[in-house]
Structures are given as structure tokens and as C-alpha cells.
Structure 1
Amino acid sequence: MTDIVNHPDIDNRPNAFTQAEIGWTPWLAPLAEEELTDRHWAGLVDPSRSKSPYFMLLARDPEILEARTKTDKDIFYNTRAGLPRAERELSATAASRSNGCIFCASVHSRFASHFSKRPDSVQRLLDEGVEADLGSRRWNAVVKASVALTATPQAFGPREIAHLREEGLDDLEIADAIHGAAFFNWANRLMLSVGEPTPAGV
């Protein structure tokens, strides 16, 4: 049975959406690095993730973690076709903002800002919420579609796809927007269920 982690009170827990780096701590005990077997290392995919308490917690089920990580990498790093990286990160940020996942929103908003060179627009999404006008009809359409899918999959349909097409997205780009939002719709709920954000370095 996985132990529950008893954490001391942490001052200044993040309670607002931010592009700054913040930390995250699990409520359940992650594996220690010395507990990792070859099976666990394979599940991590990237050995550097052994430094992350989140991935070390998920490594308790290494086959699921491996599938999760390879899916994540394909959605966000395989940019030879489809959406530019910035808009994939925008879809993840919109889902995370809608779900209230401060940690995921911080990570993916930084990526969205980095790849788009539009940090003010990304910050507006964090500050004002998913209804904010980001100064781009295309970005607004990606956010709106991501939020519709996040609310409940049945809320996403032909209207959202038509709106994305109107803003110039082709089939592969629409698929990428859906994948980014859908993945983080799931990932947010998992992260919110097993831990909490902390100040950077805690």
C-alpha cells in the first residue's frame, strides 16, 4: 500500500495563475530512486524525470507511465506537421486554466510564451480567464475549442471544428488542438487528485 505523505504547513502556496516556475508536491509517497528497477526506468522514458516527484509517483505503474509519456511527447514535440508548438501549448494552457490546475498552467503558459513570443497574450489568458480576447481570432478559436472539450467531450462538436476551419486550421492542426486539450484535460485531473502546487524550490 502506498503511504500518505504528511507535509508540514507550507507558507505562500501558489493560489493564482502564473508563468513563473512553481513547485509541486505529492500527497502519496513517490518511489525513491534506489527503488527503481529496469522496468521503472523504461516507464520513465527520460531518465532525468527521476528527479520529479510527480513522475516518480506515477512510476509506481511504469507501463501506464511509459504510454502516458510517449503520448505526451508525440503531441507536443512532433511538430513536423500540424499546429506550431506555440498553439499546442496554448491548447494545454487553456485546458489547465479552465480546470484550475495552477501547476500545469504555469508550465505550458511558459512554453506558449516562449514559442509564440507573445507573453502578454498568454498572461491575459491566465489573468482574465478563458473568455479573454487574446488579440487573435485564431488563438481565441483554439482556446474556445479547448475549453469546450475540457468542459465535457460531448460539448465539443461540429461548431467548434467549423470555427477552427474558419480561422485557417487544417485537419492536422485541428487534431493537434484536440490532442493538446484532451491530454491535459486528463492530466490536470490526475495532478489535482494526487498533490498540490508549492512555491518554487519547496
Structure 2
Amino acid sequence: MTDILTHDHAEPDAFTRDELGWLPWLAPLEEPDLTERQWEALVQKSRSKMPYFMLLARDPDILEYRTRTDMDIFYNPEAGLPRADRELAAAAASRFNGCIFCASVHARFAAHHSKRPEDVQRLLDDGVGARIDPRWDAIIDAAAALSATPSRFGPDHVAALRAAGIDDQGIADAIYAIAFFNWANRLMLSLGLPTPPAGG
């Protein structure tokens, strides 16, 4: 059995776009101990530098499914929702769920791809009640509803997304991003805790 780790530091207490660290409650694997299958499951070798993925590498099949799903949702630009909106959806789900680490990552991406850092910061500061513009409000409202419980998401949310100019493929992309991070937030929150920015 793996020992439970303890960490002596104060967790960040505010949502931020700063780059945070993350420490697991269970020991992650070390690079020299990875099997060929575990390296393959990381998909990108650079992920071996991240404790979260090295912890998930203990179950390589699940890790690979998780990572390939994540990459297809966020890095497949063929049609549907622009990357900035997909990242906003993930950031809004993370803000609703209280996952400071995931919110920081996806808020940074949303700000970068949209070139709207002040609007993204408003979501972080004010939560999912923040009002930005009809399109982003519709995405944020959908994220809050789906994250609370899927049955809260309904025709009114779809109508608002369509009224904001988002087509059916874009609506599906928003749902994928929200649903994935609604699950991922809970996994990350249960497996470890964020650490303050370097020098913070």
C-alpha cells in the first residue's frame, strides 16, 4: 500500500491566472520506474515532469484514455467552438467547482486565445455569476448548470448558446469541455492540492 503524503504549506485562497503548483496525497511514480506502457500512456513525454500525470500513470490505460480525450476536446480545431471558448468553458466549470488549479490553467489559455484577459479575470474574481457578453455568458451559464448536475442543463441553455451564434457542433464542444472538467476537477481535488505560485 502507498503511504499518504503530508504537505506543510498554505494553499492558494484566490482564483488566479498565475501558474500554480500541485502536490499529490499519494506518491507519484518516478521516471526511472516507468514501464514502456506507462511512458506510452503519458502520450507526451513532457508530462513525466508533472506529479499529477505521474500519479495517474499508476493506471496507464485510464491515463491514456483520459489524456487522449482531453487533447481531442481542446486541440481539435476542425470545426465547432473556437479554442478560446472551449478553454472558457473549462475555466467556468473549474471556477464553479472550486478547483483553483484547473481554473488557473484554463483561464490562462482562455485569456491567451481570446486576447481578453480582463474578461477572463472577471470570471475568476466574480464567479459564474459574472456577466461579460451574451456569448460568454451563455457558455458560463451552461458550465454552471452542467457542473451542478446534468439535469439542470436544458433547452433554455441550448437556446441561449444558439442565440449567441454557436452552432450545434459548437454546443457539443462546449458540453464536452464542461463535462470533462466537471469530472477532472473532482479527480484533481481528491488526489492532491494546489501550491502557491513560485515566489508567492
TM-score (norm 1): 0.96
Match of 2:178 in 1: 181
Match for residue 16 of structure 2 among 15, 18, 34: 18
- 3-state DSSP class of the match of 2:2? coil
The Cα of 1:201 is off from its aligned counterpart by 4.4
Aligned counterparts, 1:70-85, within 5 A: 70-85=68-83
Gaps of 5+ in 1: none
Match of 1:196 in 2: 193
Match of 1:165 in 2: 162
The Cα of 1:52 is off from its aligned counterpart by 0.3
Identity level (%): 66
Mapped partners of 1:147, 1:77: distance in 2: 23
Gaps of 5+ in 2: none
The Cα of 1:149 is off from its aligned counterpart by 0.5
The Cα of 1:191 is off from its aligned counterpart by 0.2
Aligned counterparts, 1:53-64, within 5 A: 53-64=51-62
One-letter amino acid matched to 2:26: L
**Could you list the per-position Cα deviations for residues 59-88 of structure 1 after superposition, in whole angstroms to 9, with x for gaps in the alignment?**
000000000000000000001211100000
- Determine if the alignment matches structure 1 residue 118 to structure 2 residue 119: no
- 3-state DSSP class of the match of 2:58? coil
Mapped partners of 2:103, 2:135: distance in 1: 20
- 3-state DSSP class of the match of 1:24? strand
Match of 2:2 in 1: 2
One-letter amino acid matched to 2:163: E
The Cα of 1:3 is off from its aligned counterpart by 2.1
The Cα of 1:107 is off from its aligned counterpart by 0.3
